[in-house]
């Protein structure tokens, strides 16, 4: 019986083995690698659910957390990676077309293996409780994303996205390191537990400097979670990146950013003077993000770009939850929201890839008449859009409900009012997709839509999960800290 489970280590080793396998068995169909990765990640997922986590190595003053939050997010990262690999399988023909290679399938293998390394980084990030660890894990994730975003190198959009992501990512890394040094300079600690321990002794005179450091860290994390005004990379990168990478980026990377955010602000709330300023800064970010994300999403005509803006909008709702940190439900609300967001975003991308392949583009107009061309795909996308909009009987509604509940409890009334108005905006732009599918007639020369059985099954599964958890969320809530 295994008493504990070094989860990210196993994932990392899996990635190395897959790389080796790729070099030793040149002739095999590279898709096999993806299937192997999916099945092993599935096994790890079961293990994370049932076996207690173990730290990577025993340390006295925790820079590695193994609490429920870490566990849930390791599971989250695994699920997101599995779904990304399934998307990648569906997307593989496009990747093959867009990268130069001497033989068919060349370069495909890394596209399946890189997400595994990202996954290891994400899982590490979920446990990181020390600024140095947070930094290392974040870099592992970000660097593997740099490659994935620019992976289809014959597509100009992908290259442009890669460059933008690289430059802005590097910039935000700079902010993060600089902020960490300021915090270290004022407290002499990099461990989050240590910071909360010594925070009471920090003299009032150096609190400004400490706040400056926290501010810089917030800016860096703002880049990661795509909070306004640090969101400007999002639309171009999301639209240009290969679609599975977009899905991965908008869920797992964002979720990891939020976990780190929740971990990082926790020690500083001990000092009321700093905590109050931190919460007002977060509220400001939340308000700006809500307004920007929702208003900018209104006129979009490209579904991938729309989903990019919608991911900014959802970051706004999540930030409301983070800003309501005093409420007993707020942490749970944020995590629940993220889990729901994962389900509905991947569902949208699962439908988007085959439709875009058949229609030759991912504009909303390419979805015209989908209800008559493929009723089941249209229904899946309908549920995904309704859940993103926050309609009852979907998991998206309960997420918003918990967030608003926490926010009202913490008297963030302005944020709640903003949230309500922007929800109405959301109905408009998500229903635009529904309108295209159900109101409009399909084009005359529409090509038939081919969907693999695996994609169809996973999409049906996600749809069922969204609807069931929307009525009966108890199983998910029981998992949460």
Partner 1 sequence: MSPLLPLILLPIVGAAFILIGASARLTALVASATSLLFSLVLLASYQFGGDQPYQFVHSWPIIPAMGISLTLGADGLSLVMLLLTSLVTLAAVAVARTPEKSPHWFYASLLFISAGGLGAFASIDLFFFYMFHELALIPTFLLIGIWGSGDRQAAAWKATIYLALGSFVLLLGLIGLYLIQPDGMRTFDLRAIIGLADAGFLPEANWVYLLLLVGFGILVSLFPFHTWAPQAYASAPAPAAMLHAGVLKKFGLYGLIRIAAPIFPDTVLNGFVAIPMPFGCHPVEIDLANLLLIMLIGNILYVGYVTTAQRKLDLMLGYSSVMHMGYIFLGFAAMNALSLTGASLLLFAHGLSIAALFALSGEIRERTGTLDFAELGGLAKPMPAFGLLFGFAAFAAIGLPGFVGFAGEILVFFGAFVGGDLLMGVTATGKEIFQLNNFQVATVCAAWGVVISALYMLRAYRRIFFGPLSDRWAGLPEISGPARFAIAALIVVMLVTGFFPGLLIKLIESASI
Q: Which is nearer to partner 1, 99 or 389 (CB)?
A: 389
- Packing angle of the helix pair 108-127, 68-98 (nearest 10 deg): 160
Nearer to partner 1, 252 or 385 (CB): 385
> Cα separation of 315 and 380, whole Å?
23
Q: Tell the smallest beta-carbon distance from residue 406 to partner 1 (Å).
A: 10
Residue 437: how many other CB atoms lie within 10 Å? 27
Closest C-alpha to 22, from 100, 116, 90, 99: 116
CB of 448 to partner 1, least distance (A): 19
Q: Please, which residue, 103 or 478, has the CB nearer to partner 1?
A: 478
Angstrom distance (rounded) from CA 113 to CA 105: 14
Cα 127 to Cα 264: distance, rounded to the nearest angstrom = 12
Chain-centre distance of CA 22, in angstroms?
A: 28
CB of 398 to partner 1, least distance (A): 9
Among candidates 431, 420, 444, which has minimal Cα distance to 381?
431
| Residue closer to partner 1 (CB basis): 138 or 418 | 418
Nearest CB to partner 1, comparing residues 212 and 401: 401
Beta carbon of residue 427, minimum distance to partner 1 (angstroms, whole number): 4
Ordered DSSP codes for 430-444: HHHHHHHHHTSPPPT
Nearer to partner 1, 277 or 372 (CB): 372
Beta-bridged to residue 234, according to DSSP, are: none
- Shortest Å distance, C-beta 358 to partner 1: 21
- Interface residues toward partner 1, by CB under 8 A: 371-372, 382, 386, 389-393, 397, 401, 404-405, 408-409, 416, 420-421, 423-424, 427-428, 431, 434-435, 438-439, 471-474, 477
**Residue 409 C-beta: closest distance to partner 1, Å:** 6
Alpha-carbon span 279 to 274, nearest angstrom: 9
Distance CA 359, CA 448 (A): 9
Based on CB atoms, which residue is closest to partner 1, 350 or 389? Answer: 389
How far is residue 349's CA from residue 243's CA, in Å, rounded to a whole number?
A: 7
CB of 231 to partner 1, least distance (A): 24
């Amino acid at each position: 019986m295994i008493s504990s489970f070094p989860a990210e280590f196993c994932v990392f080793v899996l990635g190395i083995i897959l790389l080796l396998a790729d070099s030793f068995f040149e002739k095999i169909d590279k898709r096999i690698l993806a299937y192997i990765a999916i099945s092993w990640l599935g096994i790890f997922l079961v293990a994370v659910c049932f076996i207690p986590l173990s730290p990577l190595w025993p340390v006295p003053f925790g820079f590695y957390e193994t609490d429920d939050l870490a566990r849930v997010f390791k599971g989250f990262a695994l699920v997101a990676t599995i779904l990304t690999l399934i998307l990648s399988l569906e997307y593989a023909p496009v990747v093959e077309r867009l990268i130069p290679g001497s033989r068919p399938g060349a370069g495909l293998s890394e596209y399946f293996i890189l997400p595994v390394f990202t996954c290891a980084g994400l899982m590490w990030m979920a446990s990181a409780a020390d600024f140095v660890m947070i930094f290392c894990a974040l870099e592992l994730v970000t660097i593997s994303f740099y490659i994935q975003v620019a992976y289809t190198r014959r597509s100009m959009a992908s290259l442009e996205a890669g460059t933008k992501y690289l430059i802005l990512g590097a910039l935000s890394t700079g902010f993060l390191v600089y902020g960490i040094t300021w915090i270290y300079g004022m407290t002499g600690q990099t461990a989050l537990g240590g910071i909360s321990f010594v925070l009471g002794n920090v003299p009032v005179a150096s609190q400004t400097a400490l706040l400056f450091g926290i501010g810089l860290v917030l800016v860096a994390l703002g880049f990661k979670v795509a909070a306004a005004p640090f969101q400007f990379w999002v639309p171009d990168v999301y639209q240009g990146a290969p679609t599975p990478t977009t899905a991965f980026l908008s869920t797992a990377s964002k979720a990891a950013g939020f976990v780190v955010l929740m971990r990082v602000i926790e020690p500083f709330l001990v000092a009321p003077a700093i905590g109050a300023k931190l919460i007002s800064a977060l509220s400001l970010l939340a308000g700006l993000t809500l307004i920007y994300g929702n208003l900018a999403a209104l006129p979009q005509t490209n579904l991938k770009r729309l989903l990019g803006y919608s991911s900014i909008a959802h970051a706004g709702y999540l930030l409301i939850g983070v800003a309501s940190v005093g409420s007993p439900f707020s942490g749970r609300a944020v995590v629940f929201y993220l889990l729901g967001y994962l389900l509905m975003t991947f569902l949208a991308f699962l439908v988007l890839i085959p439709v875009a392949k058949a229609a030759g583009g991912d504009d909303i107009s390419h979805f015209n008449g989908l209800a008559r061309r493929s009723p089941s795909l249209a229904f899946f996308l309908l549920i995904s859009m309704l859940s993103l909009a926050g309609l009852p009987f979907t998991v998206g509604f309960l997420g918003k409900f918990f967030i608003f509940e926490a926010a009202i409890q913490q008297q963030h009334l302005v944020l709640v009012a903003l949230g309500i108005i922007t929800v109405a905006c959301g109905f408009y732009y998500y229903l635009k997709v529904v309108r295209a599918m159900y109101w409009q007639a399909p084009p005359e020369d529409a090509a038939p839509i081919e969907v693999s059985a695996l994609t169809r099954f996973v999409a049906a599964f996600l749809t069922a999960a969204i609807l069931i958890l929307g009525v009966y969320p108890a199983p998910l809530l029981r998992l949460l800290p």
